Structures are given as C-alpha cells and as structure tokens.
C-alpha cells in the first residue's frame, strides 16, 4: 500500500516539472518612415546566442536569437520582418477542429520567416493552424511598413500604431488598467506619455532601456536586448542591461559569410554582474541540484505517507503501550508533505532563487506561504535531531521508522545549507 502511494507521488511529481515563465517586454516604434522593433529578454538562462541561417533559393534568410537549445526566441528576415516571443498565461484557449494543429513550433516559425514578408503574410499563413501547442507563449511580429501582429495561442491582432509596447499579457483579454500592473509596461507607458513627440533616432533604445529589468538581489534581469532596424535589416544587441555598448549586425552581410552562430556574451567585455549570475548554481542550470531536489521530493512524499500511516496504526494501540513520541509522526507527515510541495516549487519556479527572501509571487498564492518553510525547518531541525537520538535509545519505533527519520534529518540539514547559499534567510 505504502509503495503504491509512493510511486504515485513520484510519478506525479516528475510529470508536473516544467520551466517557469520568463518575463519580457517589447516595443515597436515607427517615425520618419522607419520602423524599429525593440525587445528585452528577461531571463536567468545563460548561454544566449545569435544565429544566421541562409535559405534555399526563393526563400528568405534570417537571423535568430536563442539559447543553447537553438529554439528561436526572436529573429529578423531579409524582407524586414522581425519577431520576438513573450511568455503569457491565457485560460480557455479555443481550438478549431477544422484546422491543422501545429505539431512542431520550430518548423512553424521557420516557415514563417522563410516565406513571409509582411505581417499580413504571417496572418494568412498562421490562420490555417491551431497554435495551442505552445499555450503559454505569444509572438509579436512587425514589418518595415510599421504594421504589427500579435499572435496569441488562439487569437491574432493587427495594428499600426506609431508607438506600441507590450509585456507578458494577452492584449485580447487584458484592459489597460490591468496592463499597468506590470511594472515594465507602466514604465514604458509613462515614458511614451512624457516623450510623445520625440522622433530622435535613439527613441527605441531609450524605451527599451526604460522597460528593462534589474533586480535587487543579484542585479540580474534583462539578459540581452535587441533593436531591429527593419528598413536597413540592421540588428543591434545590448548585453545584460548595459546600453552603453552596442554590437550591430547587418543581416545581408552576415548571411554572405554563410551559416554561423555566435555566443552573445563573447561579443561584449566581461560583466561582473553577469559573471556572478553565471556562477550561481540553481536546479535550473545544474543537473545535480535538479536531481537532488527531485530525490528530496520523492523522499518527502514517501515519508509523509509512511509517517501518517504509522501514526494512524499507533492509534489502534491501547494507551498503556502507546509511545508518547508517536505524535511526532503526525508532525513529520505535515512537514514532509509541505516540503514535497516546496521541492516542486523550487524546481518549477526559478524566480524563487533570484528574488529577495521571503519570496513574494506577483499574485498571492501558495508560494507566498511555503516561502517560510526554510525558517520553519531551521527552527524544527534541533528538536528533530533530539528526537532522532531519543528514539534510537528505545524499542518503541520500528527500525525502518528510525532510519527514515534519520535520512530525513540528514536531507533537511543539507537543504538548510543550500537555503543559506541561495539567500533564503537573508531577510534584513
């Protein structure tokens, strides 16, 4: 019975692991007949790169920005069509049973960039498909005419405002008052309102700078920024929210060199803040930590059910032979189940590691509550160790219970050391 429950917990825990959403912001600016598409890639993932890809005859070559997996986060083609992506959450995505489903999003984006010259071309192509495969992302396209297209999982919006900004929300369901809840969007809107008549060439860069993120704990936030000059097919990069250094590529010239890929960090001088981020170990960038937290979650899931069943069995004993320490099994159950959820949260949500302690979610949730578990664990580890020593001197607990408690205490001590490293106790 216990083994079955243990397996169910392990499978459920493993299947629900996923990467956390990443924050981004974008702007489209058109003036004096020229259009620029600006983007901030707000991420904790290192290893960003720019890739130049030629196309077969009759198709369009393009550049793409990505990470090590080469999944295109953004790009621009020879016709002056550019795009980038934003992580979003949209409930109740509609699926049209008469349309084809996008099964390979990489191929879907590649087909668009090789064949489409305008956002209207993109719309005509994309409208044939259900795009719910990536339900937590939307794409923002702009072309050299100044028109733009917002491609949500089940909706497309066309526009041609001279100045348009967007962050991690779906415009189709998000009114302006709710968009202002996003700090980077609000900063961008305030900048536009203050500089409405500005048409200088660096306006797009100033807007990108205004919307970038630099968080207090480690100085991290915007990994790289880009500005695509859609008329001249120039693509400018800025690394780790430093807007004093620019690296500019001309797409035509780069494609003439053949297909090639460049790591973005290698294009810029060493950045102390970036080096600090790159050396910071979390489960999202260190496989050993990921596997350790996964094992911890499995242990806590099993331990929780084991101690609960053991406690319930102890209630059937007469009060004369019942061990008063059995009440601790109920506490061990509660702590174990709470820690199971916390391990799940740590693996799934990298923001916890980069935010000030205790962690605060942008919308109040269970994450705000379990953020205090490191403190609870720090307080309880002493009594648990004392209990551990005490029960080994008695014969009232089974050996398996004693060993499981010992293993849990060792794991908790190890986790506490990691919590100190990750700054979870840095509350002042």
Domain end marker among 247, 279, 311: 279
What is the structure's pLDDT at 120? 98
In a domain, 428, yes or no: no
Backbone angles phi, psi at 426, to 5 degrees: -85, 80
Averages of pLDDT over each 10 residues, the chain, 428 residues: 42 38 82 95 92 97 95 96 94 93 95 98 97 92 98 97 96 96 95 88 94 85 95 96 95 98 96 89 95 97 95 76 80 95 94 90 84 95 93 87 95 98 90
Q: HSE (CB half, 13 Å, CA atoms) of 348?
A: 14
Please name which of 355, 353, 329 lies closest in space to residue 342, comparing C-alpha atoms: 353
Contact 253, 260 (CB under 8 A): no
In a domain, 89, yes or no: yes
- Same domain assignment for residues 115 and 76: yes
- Same domain assignment for residues 232 and 329: no
- Same domain assignment for residues 170 and 309: no
What is the structure's pLDDT at 320? 58
- Same domain assignment for residues 244 and 267: yes
- Same domain assignment for residues 212 and 326: no
What is the structure's pLDDT at 428? 67
- Same domain assignment for residues 290 and 261: no
Domain end marker among 226, 252, 279: 279
- Same domain assignment for residues 253 and 360: no
What is the structure's pLDDT at 9? 42
Contact 277, 62 (CB under 8 A): no
- Same domain assignment for residues 292 and 166: no
In a domain, 427, yes or no: no
What is the structure's pLDDT at 131? 95
In a domain, 192, yes or no: yes
What is the structure's pLDDT at 321? 58
What is the structure's pLDDT at 393? 83
What is the structure's pLDDT at 322? 65
- Same domain assignment for residues 183 and 296: no
Residue ranges of E strands in 240-344: 247-250, 260-263
What is the structure's pLDDT at 318? 60
In a domain, 426, yes or no: no
In a domain, 182, yes or no: yes
CB proximity list for 225: less than 8 A, separation 6 or greater: 38, 39, 40, 41, 208, 209, 212, 237, 238, 241, 243
In a domain, 305, yes or no: yes
pTM, two decimal places: 0.83
- Same domain assignment for residues 177 and 261: yes
Contact 144, 150 (CB under 8 A): no
Burial classification of residue 361, based on how many CB atoms lie within 10 Å of its CB (0-12 exposed, 13-18 middle, 19 or more buried)? middle
Q: What is the domain range of residue 158? A: 24-279
Q: What's the domain count of the chain?
A: 2
- Same domain assignment for residues 133 and 258: yes
Q: HSE (CB half, 13 Å, CA atoms) of 314?
A: 20
| Distance of alpha carbon 403 from alpha carbon 300, whole angstroms | 14
Q: Is 261 helix (H, G, I), strand (E, B) or coil?
A: strand
In a domain, 191, yes or no: yes
- Same domain assignment for residues 206 and 93: yes
CATH of the domain at 219: 3.60.60.10
| Distance of alpha carbon 288 from alpha carbon 282, whole angstroms | 9
CB proximity list for 245: less than 8 A, separation 6 or greater: 238, 239, 268, 269
Give Cα 240 to chain centroid, integer Å: 17
Domain end marker among 243, 258, 279: 279
């Amino acid at each position: 019975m216990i083994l079955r429950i243990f397996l169910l917990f392990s499978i459920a825990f493993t299947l629900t692991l996923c990467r956390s959403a990443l924050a981004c912001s974008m702007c489209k600016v058109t003036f004096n007949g020229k259009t620029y598409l600006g983007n901030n890639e707000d991420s904790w993932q290192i290893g960003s790169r720019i890739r130049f890809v030629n196309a077969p005859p009759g198709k369009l070559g393009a550049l793409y920005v990505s990470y090590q997996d080469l999944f295109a986060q953004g790009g621009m083609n020879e016709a002056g069509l550019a795009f980038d992506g934003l992580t979003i959450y949209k409930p109740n995505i509609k699926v049209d049973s008469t349309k084809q489903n996008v099964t390979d999003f990489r191929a879907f984006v590649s087909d668009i960039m090789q064949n489409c010259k305008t956002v209207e071309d993109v719309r005509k192509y994309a409208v044939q498909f259900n795009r719910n495969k990536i339900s937590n992302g939307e794409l923002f396209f702009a072309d050299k005419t100044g028109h733009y297209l917002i491609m949500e999982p089940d909706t497309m919006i066309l526009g041609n405002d001279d100045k348009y900004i967007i962050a991690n929300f779906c415009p189709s369901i998000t009114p302006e008052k709710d968009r202002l809840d996003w700090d980077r969007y609000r900063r961008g809107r305030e900048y536009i309102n203050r500089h409405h008549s500005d048409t200088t060439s660096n306006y797009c860069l100033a807007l990108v700078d205004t919307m970038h993120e630099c968080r207090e704990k480690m100085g991290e936030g915007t990994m790289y920024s880009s500005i695509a000059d859609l008329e001249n097919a120039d693509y400018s990069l800025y690394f780790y929210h430093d807007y004093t250094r620019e690296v500019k590529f001309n797409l035509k010239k780069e494609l003439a060199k053949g297909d090639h890929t460049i790591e973005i960090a290698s294009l810029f001088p060493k950045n102390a803040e970036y080096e600090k981020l790159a050396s910071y170990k979390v489960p999202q960038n260190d496989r050993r930590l990921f596997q350790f937290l996964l094992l911890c979650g499995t242990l806590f899931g099993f331990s929780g059910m084991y101690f609960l069943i053991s406690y319930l069995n102890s209630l059937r004993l007469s009060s004369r032979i019942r061990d008063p320490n059995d009440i601790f099994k109920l506490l061990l159950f509660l702590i174990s189940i709470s820690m199971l959820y916390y391990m799940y949260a740590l693996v799934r949500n990298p923001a916890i590691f980069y935010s000030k302690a205790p962690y605060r979610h942008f919308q109040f949730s269970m994450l705000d509550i379990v953020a205090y578990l490191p403190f609870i664990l720090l307080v309880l580890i002493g009594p648990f160790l004392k209990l551990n020593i005490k029960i080994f001197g008695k014969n009232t607990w089974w050996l398996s219970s004693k060993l499981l408690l010992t293993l849990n205490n060792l794991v908790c001590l190890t986790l506490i050391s990691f919590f100190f490293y990750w700054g979870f106790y840095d509350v002042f």
